[in-house]
Chains A and B, each alone.
Chain A
Amino acid sequence: MTKTTQTGSDVIVIGAGLAGLTAAVHAVQTGATVRLIAQGWGQQIVTPGWISVCDRAKDDVIAELRGYAALHPAHPYALAGDEGMIDCLERFRAITKAIGVPYGACVKAGHNLRLTTLLGAIQTPLLAPASMVSGDLTGVTGEILLVSFTGWRDFYPALAASNLAKQGITARAVLVDAPGAPQAWDLWPVELARRFDDPALRQRVIDQLRPHVQNAAKIGFPAVVGLEQHVEALADCTQQLERPCFEIATLPPSVPGTRLSNRLRRWLLRQRARVQIGHPVVHGIVENRRCVGVDVGALGHTNPFYADQFILATGGLYNGGIQSDESGRLWEPIFDLPVKGPGGTGREKWYHANLLVHRGHAVHRHTGLRVNTRMQPLDADGAPVLDNVYAAGHLLTGFNPLTDGCAEGIALATALKAVQVALALEAQKSY
């Protein structure tokens, strides 16, 4: 499918976060030739791996989002358009199913899930890996059994149980020996997950748990139940323990995020797309408001890569898409696109005096690129800066990815919109 031409590929996607990866998938699915270039993996490997669309919605999530977008025309959801929202969620579910990391939603259609964290707090994303969805607390009345490993520093299930109790959910904690290592102090989630891939090691955990199941309605494990064989691993636990087993997001690195990233990469490679992770794009080659290529900072010399269309999904302040320094200067390093900031001189308006202030700090809400409904970055007068560069994900201004509970939804919606505009697919609803 991917065919090198004199001018390069149809699309270059910059960034390997949720926005970049899904943009690459959409573009490949239209038959375009795609090259994805990223300095490193995106933030899905340090986040739970679920999809927050509008965490605060109490009932119909999309209705709430529509209402919000109508009131806030500059919000990325309003710019991407609400019909795109439903479309991108359906596509995400379809591709994750196809690559073997299926995502699911709440049984109450259109509602947010209610998932416990390792501290026993309840989080409300719209979609989550199927392994987490089976732990949805919506309507649960029975007792939850929470499992961790003796000596493991990253999950104290008794604490989670006591916090859940305060919210009216009965939970009980149990510690068992970690698979393949009685002392689990320094094990990383990914390391534990690989051990769960091994049926013999997994069996030892299951055998230890059997006497503790008792009246439990569901059994929650930290999200380390298998890496490559995770569907089989969780099904095995569920079948043998005769209770729905589920996963709870861990501290980084995130196994669900790693599974998703690995499988998306494998799918893209098998479609003969290029996936180049490891070096930064240092410079955009621009001629008459058109980007013709990008230079990649490489060993010895930079390397140019050419394409017709460019999707910029390099993340926000924490991911390298926006840079800052001690003087309060904010800049976009590849195309030097205009960056909107919190205003004021220096960094005086960046932070609130209260670290945990409701709705977060100004620097996180306001810093980013302004785009139009075609996802094109804009200058101070509101005119597109470049004809064929489209921005998506955390890079955009107008929301706070740390507090608003919509970061993944925005990544998916804006990535889809960017690809549709770039490949002029707005008219064709489905391809």
Chain B
Amino acid sequence: MTDNAQHLIDLTAFTADHCLKCNICTAACPVASITPLFPGPKTVGPQAQRMRLPGAPSPDHSIDYCSGCGICTLVCPHGVRVMEINTQAKAQMTATHGISLRNWFLSRNERWGRLGTPFAPLINFGLRLWLARWFAEKAVKISARAPLPRWAGYTFRGWWKKQVRQHPRPAPASDAQRVVYFHGCSTNTYEPHIGKLAVAVLEHLGLYVEIPPQTCCGLPAQSNGDFKAARRYARKNIAFLVDYARRGIPIVGTSASCMTAIKGDYQHVLGLDDPDAQLVAEHTYDFMEFLAKLHREGKLPTDFHPIERELPYHAPCQLKAHGMGRPALDVLDLIPGLRCWEIDADCCGIAGTYGFKAEKRAIAETVGKPIAEQVEAASAEVVVCDTETCRWQITSLTNATTIHPVELVAQAYGLTVDRYTPPVTARQM
């Protein structure tokens, strides 16, 4: 077979041809089995694709109910990129019918995070008023039950700039000591402590951290079908990062879902099929994946202080898509006394922006139920999870505090940062 023919077959739409119609994906789809509104991945994906030009609009609007969790792609034994096919079809629908105000709003989280920062106390207060939530549900169809983040009142980037100004660092001898940190929007404006801890850990490992300009990964726009905006974000990020990739400098990020976008979706969903996108993807690592890699190479100090805890861990659907296994568990297993176990759940239900939508909130809550049940059965007060929206969703489904694995790693190294209390020691059982 010629390389060109192989390339065509590998293109997302053509993976539909590998579909045997076995319905394994239908059995696994967390949405299809709980709502009659969605007939399931095989039906709206490869089945709808089989007589359609790749990229032509799908006649089937039920695809709007696909959460984009990607479980279908994971369970398919034949390599069909079901979620990717569905997301592309969704984008065609948006291109034809336009984007709703609500979906546009949810796609521009990056903006609201930034613009809201100076008004954090007011917004945090206002958004928790019953009336405001009721109004948002009625007028914009954002669920009144959906978990909302808190604005930190300062940005991670602002903190970093000050940090670099106050403590100038000598440039490293070689690029091998450099690492790029991709913080994502949520760390920048809602959870700067995650970024600060990530930097503390990387510096503890003797690495010189670089934080180049960056924008939203584009995933919220992509999952709302706004490919134009998503590609704009993607191209900007690629331009910001490709130089580092070219120099072989790893790009690491603490939001597993942003990293999915950069590593995979830019190519397989958005169709940015150029060498720069590939180069950036090749050098991009999830934060915990990066630590696991250092460990495999014998470069991770394991002089961890013990943390005597047994904690449930949720692997977000978008983290499962990486194909990197569960690096958070592999690394946390190195901490003496710490016993983390993976909750058996495909998806927490939030799937990026899906669970924020009023008409989908009940579905999102049902999808996340197995997590709540297992956390409750274990009487766990803290849940570990690598992605922010999943953490918010898990907190709303359980009474547990949710933390990023970097918080445990930092604690075990004895590292801390300003304006932060380690939740695990704070909430001893």
Contacts and interface: CB of A to CB of B under 8 A. Distances in A.
B122 interface: no
A252 B22 contact: yes
B221 to A, nearest CB: 19
Contact of A299 (B20, B263, B331, B340): B263
Contacts of A189: 27
Given A6-B298, A274-B326, A303-B325, A39 B79 contact: yes
Given A266-B344, A276-B326, A299 B27 contact: no
Interface size class of chain A, counting residues whose CB lies under 8 Å from the partner chain: 35 or more
Interface string B254-273: 00000010111000000000
Interface string A1-40: 0111010000000000000000000000000000101111
A279 interface: yes
B280 to A, nearest CB: 8
Contacts of B282: 300-301
Of A40, A42, A46, A187, the most chain B CB neighbours within 10 A belong to A40
A59 to B, nearest CB: 35
A299 B74 contact: no
Interface string A266-307: 100110101111111000000000000000111111011110
Nearest to B342: A269
Contacts of A193: 33
Interface in B310-344: 320-326, 329-331, 333-334, 339-344
A194 interface: yes
A265 interface: yes
Interface in B280-322: 281-284, 289, 292, 295-296, 298, 320-322
B117 interface: no
Given A191-B32, A305-B325, A300 B284 contact: yes
A300 to B, nearest CB: 4
B23 interface: yes
A194 B341 contact: no
Interface stretch (B34-42, B99-107, B202-210): B34-42
A52 B127 CA distance: 59
A320 B76 CA distance: 11
A181 B27 CA distance: 19
Given A253-B26, A269-B341, A300-B282, A278 B74 contact: yes
Interface in A235-255: 252-255
Contacts of A254: 27
A45 B322 contact: no
B379 to A, nearest CB: 15
A2 B77 contact: no
Interface string A171-192: 0000000000100001111110
A33 to B, nearest CB: 9
B161 interface: no
A253 B321 contact: no
Given A41-B77, A272-B339, A190 B22 contact: no
Of B27, B282, B283, B284, the most chain A CB neighbours within 10 A belong to B27
A154 to B, nearest CB: 11
Contacts of A2: 333
B24 interface: yes
Interface in B335-358: 339-344
Contacts of B281: 299-301
B34 A278 contact: no
Contacts of A42: 77
B264 A188 contact: no
B87 interface: no
A37 B262 CA distance: 23
Contacts of A266: 344
A258 interface: yes
Given A298-B324, A299-B260, A253 B22 contact: yes
Nearest to B281: A300
A262 interface: yes
Contact of B24 (A253, A269, A305): A253
Contacts of B320: 278
B295 A296 contact: no
A319 interface: yes
Nearest to B260: A299
Interface in A39-65: 39-43, 45-46
A270 B23 contact: no
Contacts of B27: 45, 188-190, 252-255, 258
Given A272-B341, A279-B74, 10 more contacts: A45-B22, A46-B22, A188-B32, A254-B27, A270-B341, A270-B344, A274-B330, A277-B74, A278-B75, A299-B281
12 contacts: A39-B77, A41-B28, A43-B77, A191-B32, A252-B22, A253-B26, A272-B341, A274-B342, A277-B74, A296-B325, A301-B283, A320-B78
Interface of A: 2-4, 6, 35, 37-43, 45-46, 181, 186-191, 193-194, 227, 252-255, 258, 262, 265-266, 269-270, 272, 274-280, 296-301, 303-306, 315, 318-320
